[in-house]
Amino acid sequence: MDARSLKQFVNLSDCLHFGRASEASHVSPSALSRSIKRLEDELGVDLFERNNRSVSLTHAGRLFLNYARDTLGDWDAIRNKLMEESGELRGEVSMYCSVTASYSFLFEILTRFRRDHPHIEIKLHTGDPEDAIPRVLSGEEDISIGAKPQNLMAGLAFKLIAVSPLVFIEARRKKGQIHSGNAQPEAEEWAGKPMILSERGLARRRVDQWFRALGVQANIYAQVAGNEAIVSMVSLGLGVGVVPQIVLDNSPLADTVRVLDIKPALEAYEVGLFTLEKKLASPLINALWSQLK
């Protein structure tokens, strides 16, 4: 019995799926499978009824779940109590953000945090920015960086880091190259312009809304995963793209594209931190949270 195994057990109890629970626990499915098996061997009872298609708690598993929750709570409690004693925070916080966000915001956030709390370990995971909120909601990560959605779901806390306009970009004309068409196209012209957009995500939804509001049918040339790829395609002259300004600020291709001053502007990206409100009770997470602004 150790806190790690218990957490893994609770994670599996919550989602009843080895694959997902193993992600939530940041281990491979095989490691989780063995962990659970170890627990079952140690206790001498099966905790889960499982075949290759379904997982469910046994009666013993339900009893043990109560125990595990309590024990993890106690463990947190004593650790917090002793941290107060020592006046120094210590432990680990898991964090999730896109690679872009890690370039833009993370360094600044973490350098100060590391100085103030050298014994809080940050476990950073990067990936699709769209997963920022789901990962926090599922408990897979303590904190994530992402764009604030239209409406925040209950229990989710958000803290603004920066506002970055969502801008239209096109390839910067090479010297001597003739500009074909208007620099500030009218709505009607959009129907003709090939657009390069995120295949999904907040930026995409904003753009879709924008076109809908204008009553214009977009001519979508490419749907791309990742803002960097949009910049890249736009710089090749394949069409007009939409990315947050912050992406341009950190892009090596920034000077190969130019920002179009289009009205009405897209609603700006509000980039910030997400966490579960209840997690703000944790001194560790609170330390990171309240450091900002």
The binding site for DNA (CB under 7 A) comprises 4, 17-19, 27-31, 33-38, 50-53, 55
CB of 90 to a copy of itself, least distance (A): 4
Partner whose footprint covers residue 78, from DNA, a copy of itself, none (CB < 5 to 8 Å by kind): a copy of itself
CB of 26 to DNA, least distance (A): 7
Partner whose footprint covers residue 158, from a copy of itself, DNA, none (CB < 5 to 8 Å by kind): none
The C-alpha atoms of residue 115 and residue 110 are separated, in whole angstroms, by 8
Task: Give the closest residue to 57 by CA, choosing from 126, 66, 254.
Answer: 66
- Count of beta carbons in the 10 Å neighbourhood of residue 176: 5
Residue 150 is given by DSSP the state S
CB of 96 to DNA, least distance (A): 17
Angle at 151 between CA 222 and CA 104, to 5 degrees: 60
CB of 1 to a copy of itself, least distance (A): 5
CB-nearer residue toward DNA: 22 or 104: 22
Partner whose footprint covers residue 18, from DNA, a copy of itself, none (CB < 5 to 8 Å by kind): DNA
Considering only CA atoms, give the Rg of the chain: 24
Q: Which residues are within 8 A (CB) of 283 and not within 5 positions of it... i.e. 6 or more apart?
A: 80, 83, 84, 89
Task: Give the closest residue to 237 by CA, choosing from 284, 190, 179, 289.
Answer: 179
Q: Which of residues 39-98 bind a copy of itself (CB under 8 A)?
A: 43-45, 59-60, 63-64, 67, 70-71, 74-75, 78-79, 81-83, 85-86, 88, 90-91
The C-alpha atoms of residue 71 and residue 164 are separated, in whole angstroms, by 43
Kindly list the residues in this chain that would bind a copy of itself in the complex (CB under 8 A). 1-3, 43-45, 59-60, 63-64, 67, 70-71, 74-75, 78-79, 81-83, 85-86, 88, 90-91, 119
